[in-house]
Amino acid sequence: MTKETDKAQRQSLRGDCAAAFLLLSRIPVTWHRFPEDRPPDFTSSLWAFPVVGLVIGAVAGGTLALTEIAMLPPLVSAAVGLLVLALLSGAMHEDGLADMADGFGGGRDVESKIRIMHDSRIGSYGVMALILSSAARLGLLMACLDAFDGLQLVMFIAFIQAASRFQPVAQLSAFSISPHASLAHLTGQPGTLRLIVGALIWLLPLAWLIGVTTTLMMAMPVVALTLWIGSLAMRQIKGLTGDVMGATTIIGEIALLACWASLAKLVAA
């Protein structure tokens, strides 16, 4: 294949964004059509994963802002925001968290862990993971409502959601796909350029909104946690799966908001 042919067959930036939305959201992709002889290239779209987070987060943040204007109780507002996030993403990340918790917690070896993770039924570890993560997210969204309002709230939620969807991209750059994975085989290593672009999509605007120091103090421990989860997956099931990356998205969101909340308290003290 010549360089000209290879270049002609590369997915466009618009196609990358469309592929990312197809994989990570339930938002209809009516603005792009893939050629019948070329399915979406999800590896090429990895840089655009944070773009999906920006859109989903902006809608959820806008919803939170509206509930604040309507003077709903903070807990109700946070619950509505969490519902919007789940609806727009199809709750795929929550499903991954529950599956990973069940598999890693209940399996004795690689085969049993994978079997449990592929089971559509949810176990006790999965239930606890969903309850605890939802409680944490509700509390952290309430903290966001207390600290931001209006456009600032919309932007902050959008940037956090973009950052959380970057975490699986960071994992893919460092770890291999598990031979037992199904959905994860649709993706591959992002490469240096896609990794950098994906990081800048959320790092720069978040630094502009809350400051460079705060952003770095949030980002560094969260990326370290993301890589630790990847290394755990290598030990548990010999690599990454869609469930692991979905779980990482939820855990990354919680960790980012928790770091921000802790730093905000330190500054206020």
What is the C-alpha separation between 44 and 19, in angstroms, rounded?
A: 9
Residue 269 is predicted with a pLDDT of 65
Residue 34 is predicted with a pLDDT of 84
Instruction: Return per-residue pLDDT of the chain as tens, 269 residues.
Output: 444 444 546 888 899 999 999 999 999 988 888 887 788 898 999 999 999 999 999 999 999 999 999 999 999 999 999 999 999 999 999 999 999 999 999 888 999 999 999 988 899 999 999 999 999 999 999 999 999 999 999 999 999 999 999 999 999 999 999 888 776 667 888 999 999 999 999 999 999 999 999 999 999 999 999 999 999 999 999 999 999 999 999 999 999 999 999 998 887 76
What is the C-alpha separation between 33 and 36, in angstroms, rounded?
A: 9
φ, ψ for residue 3, nearest 5 deg: -65, -35
Residue 107 is predicted with a pLDDT of 86
What is the C-alpha separation between 77 and 95, in angstroms, rounded?
A: 23
CA neighbor of 182 nearest in space, from 266, 226, 242, 113: 242
Residue 268 is predicted with a pLDDT of 76
Q: Which sign, positive or negative, has the C-alpha torsion 74, 54, 99, 191?
A: negative
The DSSP string of 9-77 is TSPPHHHHHHHHHHHH--S---S----TTS---TTGGGGGHHHHHHHHHHHHHHHHHHHHHTT--HHHH
Tokens (6 digits) for 82: 């969490």
Tokens (6 digits) for 232: 């755990």
CA distances, 65 to each of 69, 86, 144, 152, 247 (Å): 6, 17, 10, 9, 27
What is the C-alpha separation between 265 and 121, in angstroms, rounded?
A: 40
Residue 224 is predicted with a pLDDT of 97
The structure's pTM equals 0.93
The 8-class DSSP code of residue 188 comes to -
